[in-house]
Amino acid sequence: METPTGFQIISHPLHRIGIIYNPFAGGLKGSKRARLDAAIEVFEKAGRQVELFATPGPNKAGELARKAAHAGCDLVLAAGGDGTINEAINGLVGSKVIFGALPAGTANVLANELGLSNRPDRAASQLLYAVPTRISLGAYDRPGHARRHFALMAGIGLDARIVYELDLNLKARLGKLAYWHGGFKQLGRPIPQFTIRVNGESHSASFALITRVRNYGGDFQIARRIRLTDSDFEIVVFQNREWRDYLRFVGAVVTNRLYSTPGVAIYRATEAMVICPEDTRIYVQTDGEAVGGIPATILTVPDALTLLIPKQYAAG
């Protein structure tokens, strides 16, 4: 069924579910593992077969997603944070297998965007009534590197530097507070600028958010006019590089005045190119994970994934 905005809702019975889970995710450690067991019970009581695939370490969820699909799972769920979800998505791009998020990690931006509970047992009940929907994904293309797909966003500049330099041990202990700690460590450091080319025009920037969702880190909304079911990006560009300007930008985000704030430009596009001076290193993050640097092209990939979406979100 085609909807008025162009994305496709698919009628598909779900019988066998493969759950890829990160045993080290913040929402599954220790006694919290019982929430995953409760989610499995929800599915099994609804007549679904469930098979578990535990990730042995980083960068394995994509391989396990492919394994679950080849094993005949109708639905592949990623139980963890946005990093685990991103890895799993990269294993299913172009497949007709249905994918869903079972939030259980430090950051659950996808769950917040879709209106899913951050508890996997409660989210399981919501997913039973969600609809498989064919959507576009974003992609990060850098010369000489493999393409990296993403569901949520690409950040270029300051936020990616925070992710790149993040203390992972601190993240394991403090969760999202580790990102705030990383942000405060940036204060006073120079903020380098780069060039972003959108819709045929070049712009100077110190930070660019190329996003398919409104939620940013689960706590804020920087972009406010984009949805996962859209076929393009909302691109938010911070043009200034002084710290006093960044404090002003943060205040504008909190008070919902960013769209009218001097030094901020907002675009809609399906592609953006980012380049930088040869003597400057600019980092890129996708879905909260450090993926590399620039020059690079960020683009949308149409008809890339079948995502399980709550009916309320799918209806707009």
Give the 3-state secondary structure of 129-167: CCEEEEEEEEEEECCCCCCEEECCEEEEEHHHHHHHCCC
66 three-state secondary structure: helix
Write down the residue that tokens 């993403």 correspond to. 150
Instruction: Looking at the structure, tell me whether residues 81 and 178 fall in a common domain.
Output: no
Instruction: Looking at the structure, tell me whether residues 296 and 309 fall in a common domain.
Output: no
At 153, which CATH number? Answer: 2.60.200.40
Report field, pTM of the whole predicted structure over 0.85: yes
pLDDT of res. 41: 95
Instruction: Looking at the structure, tell me whether residues 146 and 217 fall in a common domain.
Output: yes
Instruction: Looking at the structure, tell me whether residues 210 and 236 fall in a common domain.
Output: yes
Torsion angle of C-alpha atoms 302, 308, 311, 316, degrees rounded to 10: -30
Q: What gap in Å lies between CA 195 and CA 214, rounded to an integer? A: 24
Q: Give the DSSP H/E element, type plus range, for residue 8.
A: strand 8-9
Q: What tokens does 112 get?
A: 């917040």
Quote the number of domains for the chain.
2
pLDDT, tens digit only, all 316 positions of the chain: 444 444 555 445 668 999 998 887 766 767 778 889 999 999 999 999 999 999 887 788 999 999 999 999 999 999 988 888 999 999 999 898 999 999 887 668 899 999 999 888 899 999 999 999 999 999 999 999 999 999 999 999 888 888 787 766 666 665 666 666 566 666 667 788 999 999 999 999 999 999 999 988 666 788 889 999 999 999 999 988 777 777 788 788 877 888 888 889 999 999 999 998 766 789 999 998 889 999 999 999 999 999 999 988 877 7
* Chain centre distance of CA 311: 20
Instruction: Looking at the structure, tell me whether residues 54 and 188 fall in a common domain.
Output: no
Question: Would residue 283 count as lying in a domain?
Answer: yes
pLDDT of res. 288: 87
Question: Would residue 183 count as lying in a domain?
Answer: yes
CB 97 within 8 A of CB 76: yes
Domain range for 147: 140-302
Q: What's the Cα-to-Cα distance from 57 to each of 33, 220, 266, 313, rounded to whole Å?
A: 17, 30, 38, 32
Question: Would residue 49 count as lying in a domain?
Answer: yes
Question: Would residue 72 count as lying in a domain?
Answer: yes
Question: Would residue 3 count as lying in a domain?
Answer: no
Q: What gap in Å lies between CA 63 and CA 229, rounded to an integer? A: 26
Q: How many other CB atoms sit within 10 Å of the CB of residue 236?
A: 26
Instruction: Looking at the structure, tell me whether residues 20 and 64 fall in a common domain.
Output: yes
Instruction: Looking at the structure, tell me whether residues 192 and 91 fall in a common domain.
Output: no
276 three-state secondary structure: coil
First to last CA, the chain: 15
pLDDT of res. 296: 95
Question: Would residue 56 count as lying in a domain?
Answer: yes
Instruction: Looking at the structure, tell me whether residues 38 and 91 fall in a common domain.
Output: yes
Instruction: Looking at the structure, tell me whether residues 247 and 283 fall in a common domain.
Output: yes
At 101, which CATH number? Answer: 3.40.50.10330
Residues constituting the chain? 316
Q: What's the Cα-to-Cα distance from 59 to each of 63, 100, 104, rounded to whole Å?
A: 8, 18, 17
Question: Would residue 2 count as lying in a domain?
Answer: no
Instruction: Looking at the structure, tell me whether residues 153 and 120 fall in a common domain.
Output: no
Question: Would residue 1 count as lying in a domain?
Answer: no
pLDDT of res. 219: 67
**Sequence-distant (≥ 6) Cβ neighbours of residue 29 within 8 angstroms:** none
Q: What tokens does 39 get?
A: 């989610």
Instruction: Looking at the structure, tell me whether residues 161 and 122 fall in a common domain.
Output: no
pLDDT of res. 278: 66
pLDDT of res. 173: 67
Instruction: Looking at the structure, tell me whether residues 167 and 285 fall in a common domain.
Output: yes
Q: What tokens does 155 get?
A: 């950040």
Q: What gap in Å lies between CA 300 and CA 45, rounded to an integer? A: 38
